[in-house]
Structure 1
Amino acid sequence: MEAAIADIDAEIIVIDNNSPDDSCDMVKELFPSVKLIENKDNSGFSKGNNIGVAQAKGEYLCILNPDTVVAEDTFSKLLNFTELKDNLGIVGCQLIDGKGKFLPESKRNIPTPKVSLRKVLGNTNDYYANHVSIEETAKVDILVGAFMWLKKDVYEAVGGFDEAYFMYGEDIDLSYKVIKAGYDNFYFGETTVVHFKGESTLKDSKYAKRFYGAMQIFYKKHFKQNLLFNAVVWVGIKMAHILRKNPVDVEIKSNQSYLYSVDFDPVLVEQLPKPTQIENTIQDIIKNNSLIVYDFKILIASIVIADMKQKSKQENIGFRFLLKNSKFILGSDSAINRGEVLHF
């Protein structure tokens, strides 16, 4: 993140909703320039972001999940794009998961009750904005809260995130409020951000209950209701809760490791299968069933992201990040389970 704002007049604000671990101490020690707001309780995603926005001084905001990796040129590209636009609402970008795969929720249509019910039944054609290609830039209706770029005055004009949503649904609500206020939302496919989806919460039955409960708030707020409408919404929520299975463990069985670094810790090397250290450049040809470890002491995020997207086309490839000043590698092989952290 600091590399992404190196040439921009910007600030980083981190909101902590009463984390039980030592993450606040870590931020203070390793990132002293970050403005850290420590809330005394966990009042949810919406309220936490509203607190952060109230402290923000810039013209533009970027609502960003903590489990993301941003390329060095992401914000400069967005500034160049958005400063030429009139009537600008929210801008989202191309998101990929920890496996390098595109996340379709990066661009969505308005989830009317009919569309959402179809999604519950397995038909996602109308839910996602599939008429816009992954690399394209175009107007879309709904963007994802993991990455939202917009002007602060637009955020304030529509009242920010609705704090009736604890977690999930608030990004749909904000996107829809911005559209109803007459602004244009855009999907910007010319930059990519990694979102280790699955880190904020596990995708289990509790998730389903909270997510579809949030959608019920959305429908009551924005759509005219009648008995048939209420029945459809209720059935959809119940079916989603019943059909949602608990997370299944995903295990990547790696036969080979590729270590992009000039100085890997020998303790780490001993824990990896058949490690091959590569010091000079990204290697184009690797074997299937491999684990790739990127050392951010020598690699920049934009190169790593591009390599992930390319190598994700191969069979059973896992990715791990070794961040600066850290003694662990991390990554995520599943969108429904927590990621892996390997200490050394």
Structure 2
Amino acid sequence: MNHQVGRGSFIIVTYNSESVIAGCLAPLVDLALAGHEVIIVDNNSHDETLTICAKLIPTAKIIRNPNNDGFAKAVNIGVAASAGSTIVLLNPDAVGTAESFNQLLKSSAESPRAVIAPMIVHPEHRLSVVSAGRQPKLRRMILHYSGLARLAGPRFLEGHYLYPHQAKSDRNVEWATGACLVIPKDLWLAVGGLTERWFMYAEDIEFCHRVVSAGYTVRLLPGIEISHAAGTGTSEPKSMKADWIVNLWHFYNDDLSPSRAASSLWKFVVSAGLLSRAAYYALRAVTPGDKLAWLHESRRFRAFSTAMLRAK
């Protein structure tokens, strides 16, 4: 059966993104000429981000927020202003090709009850996990941080993050990163968009939880790749903030945890796992290679572990 590909609305939230936004928008130029919609929601940038956007895609709809009230709120503003039948959430540091986006839109038209996610690849090649997987329930976090999830085998051993050998073909997942998600507008409206309870991080995982709970699916398509230089969406230096894991803890505690004891164990397991990664990165720093980068990663993960233990 042939499925008509409707108009796509690309929603891109920017904040001091001048160093990356041109790479993100370049593949969308032809798509905009073909009738797809590009919406830039800017969270009060103080650089040349919007000048670059207007020059590359003059037809882009630019929404200037007077304040930076967070990623999710900006996304919801962009979607509310959209006219397309399909929403494409795209980080300003995510880069695809016109063909890859056309494939994603086609796949979405063929699966109107699914959120479609591409395979996210990282230019630095430091992340060995897939940016998709299982909801952060206690068992999945234990499997991930114990290393058992690395084993090839049945799906009940999969952790919060999948590994590449677990995502070699199209499959359903319980969450996928919001760096690039393709969502039928009707599905978005039915589920209710992104939660604004956090300034940034974990809103994509919480959204996918509501998607699956409502009877829809989240579909990962490893054959379609989008590059994402994680953590470079702004001109700011790589952050030591632990919002990504603290928000995940709050999501688990408020939405998924069966008991206070489970919540406490979750916190301990994750904190210990982050600390073990800090120790591993410290060891990498004493071997030939990029010593300063590995030391920085070690310090970051120690900070993440400490913040996790202190989370309330």
TM-score, structure 2 as length reference:
0.70
Partner of 1:11: 37
Partner of 2:130: 105
1:65 paired to 2:91: yes
Partner of 1:51: 77
1:266-325, Cα deviation, whole Å (9 max, x unpaired): xxxxxxxxxxxxxxxxxxxxxxxxxxxxxxxxxxxxxxxxxxxxxxxxxx9xxxxxxxxx
Partner of 1:143: 176
1:180 paired to 2:209: no
Separation (CA, whole Å) in 2 of partners of 1:240 and 1:17: 34
Partner of 2:195: 162
User: Residues 167 and 117 (structure 1 numbering): CA distance in 2 closer, same or farther, change over 3 Å?
Assistant: farther
Find the partner of 2:224 among 191, 196, 206: 191
The size of the alignment, in residue pairs, is 251
SS of alignment partner, residue 92 of structure 2: coil
1:33 paired to 2:59: yes
SS of alignment partner, residue 243 of structure 2: helix
Conservation of the 8 A alpha-carbon contact between 1:143 and 1:172: yes
Partner of 2:309: none
Percent identical: 25
Conservation of the 8 A alpha-carbon contact between 2:104 and 2:118: no
Separation (CA, whole Å) in 2 of partners of 1:172 and 1:60: 20
In the TM superposition, 1:65-144 aligns within 5 A as 65-85=91-111, 88-99=113-124, 104-125=129-150, 126-127=158-159, 128-130=161-163, 134-144=167-177
- How far apart are 1:133 and its partner, in Å? 5.1
Residues 121-130 or 220-229, more deviating: 121-130
**What amino acid is aligned across from residue 50 of structure 2 in structure 1?**
C
**What amino acid is aligned across from residue 120 of structure 2 in structure 1?**
L
Conservation of the 8 A alpha-carbon contact between 1:4 and 1:74: no
Partner of 1:20: 46
1:96-142, Cα deviation, whole Å (9 max, x unpaired): 11246886333312221232244345554422334875452122221
Structure 1 unpaired stretches of 5+: 251-315, 317-334, 337-344
1:218 paired to 2:251: yes
Separation (CA, whole Å) in 2 of partners of 1:134 and 1:224: 27
- How far apart are 1:184 and its partner, in Å? 1.5
Conservation of the 8 A alpha-carbon contact between 2:115 and 2:181: yes
Separation (CA, whole Å) in 1 of partners of 2:50 and 2:245: 31
**What amino acid is aligned across from residue 17 of structure 1 in structure 2?**
N
SS of alignment partner, residue 27 of structure 1: helix
User: Residues 211 and 239 (structure 1 numbering): CA distance in 2 closer, same or farther, change over 3 Å?
Assistant: farther
User: Residues 213 and 240 (structure 1 numbering): CA distance in 2 closer, same or farther, change over 3 Å?
Assistant: farther
Separation (CA, whole Å) in 1 of partners of 2:253 and 2:200: 17
- How far apart are 1:167 and its partner, in Å? 1.5
Conservation of the 8 A alpha-carbon contact between 2:141 and 2:270: no
User: Residues 3 and 210 (structure 1 numbering): CA distance in 2 closer, same or farther, change over 3 Å?
Assistant: same
User: Residues 31 and 241 (structure 1 numbering): CA distance in 2 closer, same or farther, change over 3 Å?
Assistant: same
- How far apart are 1:220 and its partner, in Å? 2.8
Find the partner of 2:266 among 215, 229, 233: 233
Separation (CA, whole Å) in 2 of partners of 1:148 and 1:228: 34
Separation (CA, whole Å) in 2 of partners of 1:244 and 1:232: 18
- How far apart are 1:143 and its partner, in Å? 0.7
TM-score, structure 1 as length reference:
0.64
More helix as a share of residues: 2
Separation (CA, whole Å) in 1 of partners of 2:137 and 2:204: 15
- How far apart are 1:7 and its partner, in Å? 6.7
User: Residues 147 and 230 (structure 1 numbering): CA distance in 2 closer, same or farther, change over 3 Å?
Assistant: same
User: Residues 55 and 112 (structure 1 numbering): CA distance in 2 closer, same or farther, change over 3 Å?
Assistant: same
**What amino acid is aligned across from residue 195 of structure 2 in structure 1?**
D
More strand as a share of residues: 1
Name the larger-Rg structure: 1
Conservation of the 8 A alpha-carbon contact between 1:13 and 1:34: yes
**What amino acid is aligned across from residue 183 of structure 2 in structure 1?**
L
